Amino acid sequence: EVQLVQSGAEVKKPGESLKISCKGSGYSFTSYWIGWVRQMPGKGLEWMGIIYPGDSDTRYSPSFQGQVTISADKSISTAYLQWSSLKASDTAMYYCARQDVEADAFDIWGQGTMVTVSS
Amino acid sequence: DIQLTQSPSFLSASVGDRVTITCRASQGISSYLAWYQQKPGKAPKLLIYAASTLQSGVPSRFSGSGSGTEFTLTISSLQPEDFATYYCQQLNSYPRFTFGPGTKVDIK
């Protein structure tokens, strides 16, 4: 079964760092782009950026450039999203999703990781 | 950046109704548009890609059309499991794959 499994919910304080993960299985992880999407409480979907695990080519939405870092470890089929200094406004659900290049859409989604930042 | 708008933002409908949601792009995106369904507490699910191609396993009551700047998602006969929020996404402006603001379909 093709799936993306994300790490569990996190509760952090402002200023702390965090790295969440997205592990792919059931397909060739290095052959598909992985994107990250933010959904703030009660709000819509926001595109953050994308990585190609085969060569770690990474692109960011201008809104998130410099705010987060996207990376991948192809040896363990895992993509990451990290923050060096969290803010309360980072409180959101974060999804990873696989881009099907032929379909040119995101066909497989992780279950989401809820990040709560509160003092 | 390419902006997407959706109309309506909220729609109240009954089981069996035909429902149409519109997505407009601020500039032409050819057919690089996808539609997703999201239910509360769940990840989005791909319904339509390339503006009009039905994703495998998605019921045929869902259909998509359009190209350029105007697109529609149609549900031919609304079912109880279709009450959800629907988002369009453009994949023309790589890699800034923006989403529309969403359309919530609720029970009348």
pLDDT in tens, B14-64: 999 999 999 999 999 999 999 999 999 999 999 999 999 999 999 999 999
- CA dist A113 → A6, A48, A99, B50 (Å): 6, 14, 19, 28
Structural contact between residues B60 and B51, judged by C-beta atoms closer than 8 angstroms: no
**B95: cis peptide before it, omega within 30°?**
yes
Q: How far apart are CA B8 and CA B43, in angstroms?
A: 22
Q: Please judge whether B95 and A49 are an interchain contact, meaning their C-beta atoms are less than 8 angstroms apart.
A: yes
**Could you read off the pLDDT of B53-92 as tens digits, one per residue?**
999 999 999 999 999 999 999 999 999 999 999 999 999 9
Quote the minimal CA–CA distance from B51 to chain A in Å: 10
Residue A97 with chain B: CB contacts under 8 Å: 43-44
Residue A96 with chain B: CB contacts under 8 Å: none
Nearest to A112 among B43, B99, B102 (CB): B43
Quote the minimal CA–CA distance from B7 to chain A in Å: 14
